Amino acid sequence: MTVLRCAGAMVLVCLCAAGAGAQEAPALRPHRVVLDGGVHWSGGYPIGDATAQLRGNAAGNAPPPFTLFAARSDVTRATSVDVRVGFALTSRWLIEAGASFGMPRVGVAISADREAAAQALEGEQLKQYVVDAAVLWHLPVRVGARARPFVIGGGGYLRQLHEERTLLETGQVFYGGGGVRYWLRGGSGAGRAVGLRGDVRATVRRGGIDFEDKRRVYPTFAVHLFVAL
Amino acid sequence: MKWMGGLLVAAAVVSSAAPVSAYLKLGTSVDGRIIDVTWRAPVRYFISEVDAPTASAADLRGAVARAAASWQAVPSATVRLEFQGMTAAAPGLIDGRTTIGFLDRPELDRVLGATSFLIDTDNGAILEADVFFNAPFAWSVSPQGTPGRVDLESVALHELGHLLGLGHSALGETELTGSGGRRVVASGAVMFPIAMAAGTIADRVLQPDDVAGISDLYPAPDQLTTTGGITGRVTKGGNGLLGAHVVAFNPETGVLVGNFALTAGGEFVIARLQPGPYILRVEPLDDAEVDSFFSTAIDVDFRVAYASRMVVAPRGGSSAPIEIKVIAK
């Protein structure tokens, strides 16, 4: 469902772009640096179901196990701070590198305990760092007078530190999506340009804290202020 | 030098037990502090020549050898047991020899076996330990087990755990029987005090709780740097809760290991864990014969509770202490 919602948002962005007129829109100036900073919101995702089991005492070689309790864990949605540095290869292509920091929680829901009610534990707070690189392609269409849509794809290194900072888990993130860059000032000639950028991505996480070592997909929404030097 | 002898009732067919999990080490008080009771040299044991009606001394020798091999095979521990020969002596005598054998004790109709110790109370060193297996029981040494008979190797594995210095684990669930005893519903440790049903051979395999316990007593050289521990305190109404049973569950590996709050302040330590995050569950020993675990009275009037968050056992160290609060039933 999460992936479908992301895909829906991307289609919406593209439809908006397709509906734009023919007037020339602002664009990146080739061979210039673009500084970028803002926040992004990451959706939550499960990190595994586990059941605490004892060996059943019954006849036969493999009696059914006894469930002491079951635990469902997830990483909660979180807001991260994001900084990025890009380089415009052309007016449409931009490469960028970024780093983000967030503090999601690991929540645990307990169930199937015969001696305790189902309950949600308060969970622990992670410190999460991502260092990534991406490629952006600005579509040859505009949205309104000062905006231009783009698609983005990239990947990076994930670093998650448990609450007591005694255990580090690492992994990778890969993402793809689309968004709109809106010029508040400049963008059509020489000089510094300032604007806003928003995007929605489908992010695939591999590694990091995960009790089942599965790939997890979750949505990310970002809003940034950019300065094109 | 002071000497102390003790008797541990180790496994009964029907008895009382606790519904949870943990390994417990034997300890002795030296200068006001509790230290582990351990062997300081390889365990050199003899097998008594006395046969039981359903198993011979040779059968016992074989079962004990297999059980000893299981303990010695724990890679995270350094345990050494050496067979010295057969002996005409019976177990239970203070003769400077560690003797394992059958004894005819029909009055102990719920006791499969027991281990007694001679301990140097100056330093906690075990000087001698004898193990007896109750001869009147119907024993089995069949590789697949024998319906209606108690597996000798399983009980030997449990008794050798005591011989090495482990107490009982509470990792199990029981239910009352019509005769007033308890039947094991489930077990998570060979060191659980009540044996599995006759005919089963499940207790021939050490469980993570047993492995953690023996690794804590006799850690392999790399254990101090490759494993971690969890520390904390169980409180009820702000006061420490002696005897509360704390179970650590690793959601990634499924491993369950536990221990008890062993001080009046309710402090607990669960050591020799694989590094990683753990869910902590606290439970009272409320349907057990508490004296299978403790020689003092403990408070069992509280509900099962969980730590508010997962706690990480760090590699080569211990977690910051976490407080787990429980409330009365």
DSSP letters along B145-192, please?
Answer: --TTSEEHHHHHHHHHHHHHTB----BEEEEE-TTS-EEEEEES-TT-
Q: Residue B259 forms beta bridges with which residues?
A: B246
Name the B residues in 253-312 with CB < 8 Å from any A CB. 254, 256, 275-277, 279, 281, 283, 303-312
**B311 Cα to chain A: minimum distance (Å):** 8
Residue A55 and residue B314: Cβ atoms within 8 Å? no
Question: Does A208 fall in a domain?
Answer: yes
Q: Give the number of other Cβ atoms within 10 Å of residue B323's Cβ.
A: 13
Position A1 scores a pLDDT of 40
Backbone torsions φ then ψ of B144, nearest 5 degrees: -95, 0
Residues of B in contact with A122 (CB under 8 A): 308-309
From the number of C-beta atoms within 10 Å of its C-beta (0-12, 13-18, 19+), residue B219 rates as middle
Question: Does A55 fall in a domain?
Answer: no
Tokens of B146: 């024998």
Question: Does A71 fall in a domain?
Answer: no
Tokens of A197: 């950028």
Name the B residues in 165-224 with CB < 8 Å from any A CB. 171-173, 183-188, 196-197, 199-200, 202, 207
Q: Residue A125 forms beta bridges with which residues?
A: A105
Residue of B nearest to A114 (CA): B304
Question: Does A134 fall in a domain?
Answer: yes
Residue A122 and residue B309: Cβ atoms within 8 Å? yes
Question: Does A70 fall in a domain?
Answer: no
Distance CA A192, CA B101 (A): 91
Residue B309 and residue A57: Cβ atoms within 8 Å? no
Of A128, A137, A135, A138, which is closest to residue A99 (Cα–Cα)? A128
Residue A52 and residue B184: Cβ atoms within 8 Å? no
A with B: how many residue pairs have Cβ under 8 Å apart?
A: 118
Contact (Cβ atoms closer than 8 angstroms) between residue B102 and residue B55: yes
**A72 Cα to chain B: minimum distance (Å):** 9
Distance CA A41, CA A220 (A): 6
pTM equals 0.83
Residue A57 and residue B188: Cβ atoms within 8 Å? no
Residue carrying structure tokens 């231009």: A148
**Residue A26's CATH number:** 2.40.160.20
Residue A55 and residue B186: Cβ atoms within 8 Å? yes
Residue A59 and residue B171: Cβ atoms within 8 Å? no
Contacts of residue B98, defined as CB under 8 A and 6 or more positions apart, other chains included, come to B43, B44, B45, B46, B128, B129, B130, B163
Residues of B in contact with A48 (CB under 8 A): 251-252
Residue B308 and residue A121: Cβ atoms within 8 Å? yes
Position B50 scores a pLDDT of 96
Question: Does A58 fall in a domain?
Answer: no
**B100 Cα to chain A: minimum distance (Å):** 27
ipTM of the complex, rounded to two decimals: 0.85
**pLDDT grade for A9, boundaries at 50, 70 and 90:** very low
- Go through the domains of chain B in sequence order and give each one's CATH number: 2-215 (3.40.390.10), 222-326 (2.60.40.10)
**A54 Cα to chain B: minimum distance (Å):** 5
Of A87, A123, A129, which is closest to residue A106 (Cα–Cα)? A123
Question: How far is CA B113 from each of CA B64, B191, B215, rounded to the nearest angstrom?
Answer: 13, 13, 24
In tens digits, chain B (329 residues) has pLDDT values of 112 222 333 332 222 222 222 356 777 777 777 788 899 999 999 999 999 999 999 999 999 999 999 999 999 999 999 999 999 999 999 999 999 999 999 999 889 999 998 998 888 899 999 999 999 999 999 999 999 999 999 999 999 999 999 988 888 888 888 777 788 889 999 999 888 888 899 899 999 999 999 998 999 998 888 999 999 999 999 999 999 999 999 999 999 998 889 888 999 999 889 999 999 999 998 656 777 777 788 888 999 999 999 999 999 889 999 999 999 98
* Long-range interactions of A108-111: CB distance < 8 A, separation 24+: A108/A71, A108/A72, A108/A73, A108/B279, A108/B309, A108/B310, A109/A71, A109/A72, A109/A73, A110/A69, A110/A70, A110/A71, A110/B279, A110/B306, A111/A69, A111/A70, A111/A71, A111/A72
Of B167, B168, B105, which is closest to residue B137 (Cα–Cα)? B105
- How many independent structural domains does chain A possess? 1
Residue A48 and residue B252: Cβ atoms within 8 Å? yes
Question: Does A62 fall in a domain?
Answer: no
Of A12, A76, A9, which is closest to residue A222 (Cα–Cα)? A9
Which residue range(s) make up the domain with A209? 2-44+77-105+124-228
Question: Does A54 fall in a domain?
Answer: no
Nearest residue, CB atoms, A55 vs list B187, B275, B320? B187
Name the B residues in 6-65 with CB < 8 Å from any A CB. 19-21
Nearest residue, CB atoms, B314 vs list A55, A116, A167? A167
